[in-house]
Structure 1
Amino acid sequence: MAHKRIRISSDWGEVTADLGDNETARSLVRLLPFTIEMSDHLRQEKTGNLPAPLPEVARQREFSIGTLGLWSSNHFVIYYRRGRVPSPGIVVLGQVADDVSIFDRPGRVTVRIQHIE
């Protein structure tokens, strides 16, 4: 998969992201488009449940600002701060290419995720 790009939009603004080249990211693309409700967690990320579980690949514990991740098989995460998660870590889905600080606020947000042609 050569740099699939997605758009993540909400009432707070929108960002684009480049997805990684792994089976989990390819499976995410097959779900598109979808809308999910996301909530704030630990003032570092927005999290929400995907419409279906995704297969898991290698995990890592470190993440950077803008990392898109998968915590459990259907738990999508957008990190707006950098840090580290406990074991078993996250599956990295991709990286936001724009200013992800639009999500750096408390509360819930509804996001629409779609493929960019």
Structure 2
Amino acid sequence: MRYTSLLAAGLTLVLTGPATAQERIQISSDWGWITATLVDNTATRRLVEMLPITIAMRDHLRQEKTGDLPAALPEAPRQRAFRAGTLGLWGPDHFVIYYRNGRVPPPGIVILGHVTGDVSIFDRPGPIAIRIERAN
């Protein structure tokens, strides 16, 4: 019986792959802090390796805060639509926090994750420095 259970567990692992927990990050600034859940792709795995980081962000089109990462992230699938709370990557090192819904022109953005808190703390004009680190 024990052999059968071990065999079944091993077969399940081989067929489904290892279980991965969704990585959570905290983004803090002088305006407050939020948490976000990252999607699982090559870009987010590399981003997590960089943490903690501080990024100087600026307002763009009154829909997003944008800033440059210290290094480029790998390419991952892109999409054009986003919603408030989406974390994205425009260029290989261009981090974006969207605080309104919208669409971007081609080639689109790499989705990095989604804010689980109130992203409206960034809905104000002007630059802000943010710190990104793993959430507890």
1:2/1:21 contact within 8 Å kept: no
Q: With the length of structure 2 as denominator, give the TM-score of the two structures.
A: 0.85
Q: Which has the higher helix share?
A: 2
Using CA pairs below 8 Å that are at least 6 residues apart, which structure has the higher relative contact order?
1
3-state secondary structure, aligned to 1:51:
coil
AA aligned opposite 1:18: T
Q: For 2:77 and 2:36, locate their aligned partners in 1 and report how far apart those are by CA, in whole Å.
A: 20
Q: Map 1:28-107; keep pairs closer than 5 Å.
A: 28-107=47-126
Larger Rg: 2
3-state secondary structure, aligned to 1:86:
coil
3-state secondary structure, aligned to 2:78:
coil
Instruction: String of CA shifts for 1:55-89, please: whole Å, max 9, x gaps.
Output: 01110000011000000000000000000000000
Query: RMSD of the TM alignment (CA)?
Result: 0.6
Q: For 2:71 and 2:24, locate their aligned partners in 1 and report how far apart those are by CA, in whole Å.
A: 20
Q: For 2:135 and 2:102, locate their aligned partners in 1 and report how far apart those are by CA, in whole Å.
A: 28
1:28, distance to aligned residue in structure 2 (A): 0.5
Q: How many residues align?
A: 117
Instruction: String of CA shifts for 1:81-100, please: whole Å, max 9, x gaps.
Output: 00000000000000000000
Q: Which residue number corresponds to residue 115 of structure 1? A: 134
Q: Which runs of 4+ in 1 moved over 6 A?
A: none
Structure 1 gaps of 5+ residues are none
Q: Which has the higher strand share?
A: 1
Q: For 1:61 and 1:102, locate their aligned partners in 2 and report how far apart those are by CA, in whole Å.
A: 24
Q: For 1:10 and 1:92, locate their aligned partners in 2 and report how far apart those are by CA, in whole Å.
A: 22
Structure 2 gaps of 5+ residues are 1-19
Q: Which residue number corresponds to residue 22 of structure 2? A: 3
Q: For 1:68 and 1:77, locate their aligned partners in 2 and report how far apart those are by CA, in whole Å.
A: 6
1:116, distance to aligned residue in structure 2 (A): 1.6
